[in-house]
Amino acid sequence: MKQILRNIAAVLLGFIAASAVMMLVETINGKVFYPDLAKAAEGIKDREAMRALFASAPIGSLLVVAFGWFVGSIVGTWMCTRISASATTRASWVLASLLILAGVANNLMMPPPMWFWVLGMATLAGGSYLGIRFASQKKQ
């Protein structure tokens, strides 16, 4: 039972860490790199208006978001792997799946261009794989 609770805690803490890194990068993106875009996005609730904003957004702004997702998924799955009680990486793959599902949910709520769907899912999956891999090498 103690191992199960530790694995659950590892997933939760990994998700929190990944989310914090992603939010930090996205905040820097909106406040430092693309403040005009962030101001234009404030208060938009209409999906079509958001789609139009994404279509006119500089590619760099979305690449920074993808970078944040990549780094966040590395940090979160690395932390989860290091904290988890088991020698397997099962808890970390659960976290990786949750991060990908969160990315899908985010993209469904704020519809980006199709290329960002592909890049976003690839960065989440690739970053998760690298985070698990890096932590597994040190754990053994």
CB 96 within 8 A of CB 129: yes
pLDDT tens digits for 69-90?
999 999 999 999 999 987 789 9
Q: Is 85 helix (H, G, I), strand (E, B) or coil?
A: coil
Q: Of 139, 5, 6, which is closest to residue 78 (Cα–Cα)? A: 139
pLDDT tens digits for 45-57?
888 999 899 889 9
For the chain, domain boundaries:
2-34+45-139
Q: Is 82 helix (H, G, I), strand (E, B) or coil?
A: helix
Please give the model's pTM, rounded to 2 decimal places. 0.94
